[in-house]
């Protein structure tokens, strides 16, 4: 009798934990809608030929899995709603990653896709009242987000409302594109004066997004074309002219221009995809690169956990959270000095 009672109690406890009954955690995970772009400048062979893009697969799958394993419920949204496309190379890149593959399915024709990002909710449909139910907003990166994230008023609204109601605002890789132009109610920048990271200019160069011709586009020749070249004969992949005409930018440049204290790790091509680097400034949690999906989500969840604790115990919130942790990679000389922790970044409270 007693054994049955204890077993029943244990089952109850497990059930409660698995379903997060005692620790509310609702996550709004936001992915891009942009699955391709058509270059209108650059070498003739690129013009008019759609190039695939999207969200970067593991930034979504790894963060989603962290939140799910922590007992959170996750709502997946995007600026327009509907399909959130994964950047196709990710399916090969993470073919042997079980965490990612657990969220990948095959269509009838054998092509891979991610069912949970097939039919996302539109950011416009999420009201401010509904945002009260969320604890964490997480902006997933990938180069697709360079197109729609910076210009979506609803993403800016979501970031503002979440921030101003004391929630966790987090983003990885190109995800902070959604925050660069985000304003608070007093019209000040959400990111100004805050320590942040995100995909770096050096990483863009490695990817080929910004080559020497990257900013050599019609109307910008004098400023950005290499000597003796014009947009017509500058070779190499160009940043699409749509970027500058819409006022787009490289993320590191955008964050710095908005007044953020941008922090990155020194990276090299052979390792940067795999080295997580996360910066936490209060409730603002950002990860630098495709390898940081898991760690950024862990830090975001941990911040949520600390907020709940500090409400109960009235711990000093801001000093507890102003930390940075990263892989043991040397900081560049130009970066502000940061405290690098290899583990144990979760402050005691
Ligand atoms: C908000 O600030 C921007 C500059 O950052 C300015 O152009 C704009 O007029 C301001 N809007 C209001 C309502 O104050
Ligand atoms: C590129 O075009 C400009 C303008 O037509 C020309 O002056 C320049 O020599 C060209 N450069 C090359 C490397 O073809």
Atom nearest to 229 CA in ligand 2:
1
Q: Strands, DSSP E only, in 80-151?
A: 105-106, 112-113, 121-122, 136-139
Residue 84: predicted pLDDT = 98
Could you give the 3-state DSSP secondary structure of residue 113? strand
Taking the centre of ligand 2 as the mean of its atom positions, its distance from the CA of residue 51, in whole angstroms, is 27
Ramachandran angles phi, psi of 85, nearest 5°: -80, 135
Residue 234: predicted pLDDT = 73
Residue 12: predicted pLDDT = 40
Mutate which of 41, 44, 230 for ligand 2 pocket (most atoms within 8 A of beta carbon): 230
Taking the centre of ligand 1 as the mean of its atom positions, its distance from the CA of residue 164, in whole angstroms, is 19
Measured between alpha carbons, how far is 41 from 237 in angstroms, rounded to an integer? 9
Residue 158: predicted pLDDT = 98
pLDDT exceeds 50 at position 6:
no
Measured between alpha carbons, how far is 140 from 290 in angstroms, rounded to an integer? 10
Determine contact, residues 129/227, Cβ cutoff 8 Å. Answer: no
Measured between alpha carbons, how far is 303 from 123 in angstroms, rounded to an integer? 24
Taking the centre of ligand 2 as the mean of its atom positions, its distance from the CA of residue 230, in whole angstroms, is 6
Domain limits, the chain: 24-210+261-326, 213-249
Kindly state if the Cβ of 92 falls inside 6 Å of ligand 2.
no
Measured between alpha carbons, how far is 285 from 322 in angstroms, rounded to an integer? 10
Measured between alpha carbons, how far is 293 from 303 in angstroms, rounded to an integer? 15
Average pLDDT of span 335-349: 39
Residue 180: predicted pLDDT = 97
Q: Is the dihedral of CA 324, 347, 57, 160 positive or negative?
A: negative
Please tell me the residue having the least CA distance from ligand 2 atom 9.
228
pLDDT exceeds 70 at position 27:
yes
Give the DSSP H or E segment for 76: strand 73-78
Taking the centre of ligand 2 as the mean of its atom positions, its distance from the CA of residue 27, in whole angstroms, is 52
Q: How deeply is 163 buried, as exposed, middle or buried, from its count of CB atoms within 10 A (0-12, 13-18, 19+)?
A: buried
Determine contact, residues 74/137, Cβ cutoff 8 Å. Answer: no
When pLDDT is cut at 50, 70 and 90, the band that residue 4 belongs to is: very low
Please tell me the residue having the least CA distance from ligand 2 atom 13.
229
Q: Pick the residue with more confidence: 296 or 230?
A: 296
Q: Considering every ligand atom, which ligand is closest to the CA of 182?
A: 1
Q: Per residue in 234-287, pLDDT tens?
A: 765 444 444 555 556 889 889 999 999 888 875 554 455 556 788 888 789 999
pLDDT exceeds 90 at position 107:
yes
Total-model pTM: 0.77
Least confident of 28-42, 46-60, 260-274: 260-274
Q: Pick the residue with more confidence: 230 or 345?
A: 230
Residue 206: predicted pLDDT = 62
Rg over alpha carbons for the chain, rounded to the nearest Å, is 21
Please tell me the residue having the least CA distance from ligand 2 atom 7.
228
When pLDDT is cut at 50, 70 and 90, the band that residue 223 belongs to is: low
Residue 173: predicted pLDDT = 95
Taking the centre of ligand 1 as the mean of its atom positions, its distance from the CA of residue 183, in whole angstroms, is 9
Q: Per residue in 109-157, pLDDT tens?
A: 999 999 999 999 999 999 999 999 999 999 999 989 988 999 899 999 9
Residue 343: predicted pLDDT = 33
Taking the centre of ligand 2 as the mean of its atom positions, its distance from the CA of residue 241, in whole angstroms, is 20
Ramachandran angles phi, psi of 348, nearest 5°: -75, 140
Residue 215: predicted pLDDT = 62
Residue 235: predicted pLDDT = 63
Kindly state if the Cβ of 227 falls inside 6 Å of ligand 2.
no
Residue 322: predicted pLDDT = 42
Kindly state if the Cβ of 233 falls inside 6 Å of ligand 2.
yes
Cβ neighbours for 256, distance < 8 A, ≥ 6 positions apart: 262
Average pLDDT of span 75-81: 98
Give the DSSP H or E segment for 294: helix 293-313
Least confident of 184-188, 291-295, 307-311: 307-311
Kindly state if the Cβ of 229 falls inside 6 Å of ligand 2.
yes
Size of the chain in residues: 349
Determine contact, residues 261/286, Cβ cutoff 8 Å. Answer: no
Determine contact, residues 192/164, Cβ cutoff 8 Å. Answer: no
Q: Considering every ligand atom, which ligand is closest to the CA of 233?
A: 2
Taking the centre of ligand 2 as the mean of its atom positions, its distance from the CA of residue 2, in whole angstroms, is 88
In angstroms, the Cα distances linking 279 to 62, 143, 161, 193 are: 18, 20, 21, 13
Residue 240: predicted pLDDT = 47
State which CATH number among 3.40.50.880, 3.40.50.300, 3.40.190.10, 3.40.50.2300 fits the domain covering 24-210+261-326: 3.40.50.880
């Amino acid at each position: 009798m007693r054994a049955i009672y204890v077993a029943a109690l244990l089952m109850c406890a497990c059930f409660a934990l698995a379903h997060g009954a005692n620790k509310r955690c609702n996550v709004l995970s936001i992915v891009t809608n942009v699955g391709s772009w058509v270059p209108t400048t650059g070498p003739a062979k690129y013009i008019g030929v759609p190039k695939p893009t999207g969200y970067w697969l593991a930034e979504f799958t790894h963060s989603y899995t962290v939140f799910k394993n922590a007992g959170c419920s996750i709502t997946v949204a995007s600026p327009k709603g509907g399909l959130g496309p994964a950047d196709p190379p990710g399916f090969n890149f993470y073919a042997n990653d079980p965490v990612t593959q657990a969220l990948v399915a095959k269509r009838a024709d054998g092509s891979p896709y991610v069912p949970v990002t097939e039919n996302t909710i539109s950011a416009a449909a999420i009201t401010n009242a509904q945002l009260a139910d969320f604890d964490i907003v997480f902006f997933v990166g990938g180069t697709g987000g360079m197109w729609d994230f910076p210009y979506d008023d609803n993403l800016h609204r979501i970031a503002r409302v979440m921030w101003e109601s004391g929630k966790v605002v987090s983003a990885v890789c190109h995800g902070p594109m959604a925050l660069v132009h985000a304003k608070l109610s007093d019209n000040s920048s959400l990111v100004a004066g805050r320590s942040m990271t995100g995909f770096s200019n050096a990483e863009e160069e490695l990817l080929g997004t910004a080559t020497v011709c990257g900013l050599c586009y019609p109307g910008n020749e004098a400023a950005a074309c290499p000597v003796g070249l014009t947009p017509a004969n500058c070779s190499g992949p160009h940043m699409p002219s749509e970027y500058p005409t819409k006022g787009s930018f490289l993320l590191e440049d955008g964050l710095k221009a908005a007044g953020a204290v941008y922090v990155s790790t020194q990276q090299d091509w052979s390792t940067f995809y795999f080295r997580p680097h996360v910066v936490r400034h209060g409730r603002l949690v950002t990860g630098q690169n495709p390898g940081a999906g898991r760690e950024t989500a862990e830090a975001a969840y941990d911040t949520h956990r600390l907020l709940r604790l500090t409400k109960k115990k009235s711990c000093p919130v801001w000093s507890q959270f102003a930390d940075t942790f990263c892989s043991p990679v040397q900081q560049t000389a130009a970066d502000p000095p940061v405290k690098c922790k290899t583990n144990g970044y979760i402050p005691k409270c």
